[in-house]
């Protein structure tokens, strides 16, 4: 009996130590985590650009805000690769910079978020701000399909909870860069009840030995219609892809064939 007590005591001690270690690790991760509300380290070289989203009639449906960084040596803006999770505080600032005239004439304004950002509890403050900010237009949060496929199981479960709680009448959700692979179909189909837009990569419509796009599109369109998810074609770069989008009956399009990204200030000046 004495040996059993000693054994249980050491089990209790070991369990306590493990719990404390997890708590300390969680605290350290929280204090050092960037990309949610910590603006430190993100200087003025980063800026948001706006790229229009058009409908089939050629009318601007909305804008997507795309992060760009300035190369002072070559004097050009480029897509940064060293920013994993851009601070949500900067997103708030970018939205507040947009001319009210622009937001009064569009249906949706899209912002990119990572799985890491949307699954973090601090993102709820961002959504509360957004719900109080939007008027007749809607804010759309765009998540990268590749990012979702690479996410851990618990992250994807947390995402589902967050997406389910959102007021989709005011904050909509899109999954972008959707391709025609079976793996992506399996990973993303469970999110269809909780999203509003599916943005296909235009190059994913190219048929090849490895692509089964006819079957994929049929499955996507059937399930999307079931959940009232709106399809979008992204990265449309030439007239061939424009015609293909017409044949597929996809109304919303985005890409260089319709308009290049421009700085938010220039977008305001150009549209007024």
pTM of the model as a whole: 0.78
Asked if pLDDT for residue 213 goes beyond 60, the answer is no
What topology is assigned to 43-271 in CATH? TIM Barrel (3.20.20)
Residue 151 CB neighbour total at 10 angstroms: 19
Quote the pLDDT of residue 183: 81
Residues 6+ apart with CB under 8 A from 81: none
Quote the pLDDT of residue 56: 92
Q: For residue 44, name the pLDDT band (cuts at 50, 70, 90).
A: low
Give CA–CA dist 127/172, Å, rounded. Answer: 11
Q: Take residue 250 and report the two structure tokens written for it.
A: 């996809």
Q: What is the mean pLDDT of residues 23-32?
A: 54
Quote the pLDDT of residue 237: 92
For the chain, the average pLDDT equals 80
Give CA–CA dist 133/124, Å, rounded. Answer: 14
Q: For residue 23, name the pLDDT band (cuts at 50, 70, 90).
A: low
Per residue in 105-128, pLDDT (tens digit) is: 888 889 999 998 888 877 888 888
Asked if pLDDT for residue 184 goes beyond 60, the answer is yes
Give CA–CA dist 34/57, Å, rounded. Answer: 42
Q: Reduced to 3 DSSP states, what percent helix, strand and coil does the chain have, rounded to the nearest 5?
A: 50, 20, 30
* 197, 230 contact by CB (below 8 A): yes
Give CA–CA dist 83/144, Å, rounded. Answer: 14
Give CA–CA dist 77/93, Å, rounded. Answer: 19
Break the chain into its structural domains and give their ranges: 1-32, 43-271
Sign of CA dihedral 217, 137, 164, 89: positive
Quote the pLDDT of residue 272: 41
């Amino acid at each position: 009996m004495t040996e059993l007590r000693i054994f249980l005591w050491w089990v209790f001690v070991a369990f306590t130590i493990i719990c404390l270690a997890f708590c300390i690790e969680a605290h350290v991760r929280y204090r050092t985590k960037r990309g949610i509300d910590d603006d430190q380290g993100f200087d003025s070289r980063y800026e948001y650009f706006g790229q229009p989203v058009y409908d089939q009639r050629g009318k601007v449906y909305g804008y997507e805000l795309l992060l760009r960084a300035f190369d002072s040596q070559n004097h050009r803006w480029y897509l940064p690769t060293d920013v994993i999770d851009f601070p949500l505080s900067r997103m708030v600032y970018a939205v507040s910079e947009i001319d009210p005239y622009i937001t009064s004439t569009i249906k949706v304004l899209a912002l990119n978020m990572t799985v890491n950002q949307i699954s973090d509890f601090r993102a709820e403050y961002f959504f509360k701000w957004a719900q109080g900010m939007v008027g007749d237009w809607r804010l759309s949060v765009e998540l990268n399909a590749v990012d979702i496929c690479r996410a851990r199981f618990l992250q994807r479960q947390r995402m589902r909870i967050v997406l389910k709680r959102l007021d989709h009448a005011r904050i909509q959700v899109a999954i972008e860069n959707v391709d025609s692979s079976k793996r992506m179909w399996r990973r993303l189909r469970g999110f269809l009840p909780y999203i509003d837009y599916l943005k296909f990569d235009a190059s994913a419509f190219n048929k090849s030995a490895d692509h089964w796009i006819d079957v994929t599109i049929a499955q996507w369109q059937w399930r999307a219609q079931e959940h009232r998810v709106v399809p979008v074609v992204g990265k449309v770069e030439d007239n061939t892809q424009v015609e293909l989008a017409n044949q597929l009956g996809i109304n919303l399009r985005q890409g260089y064939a319709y308009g290049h990204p421009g700085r938010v200030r220039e977008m305001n000046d150009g549209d007024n």
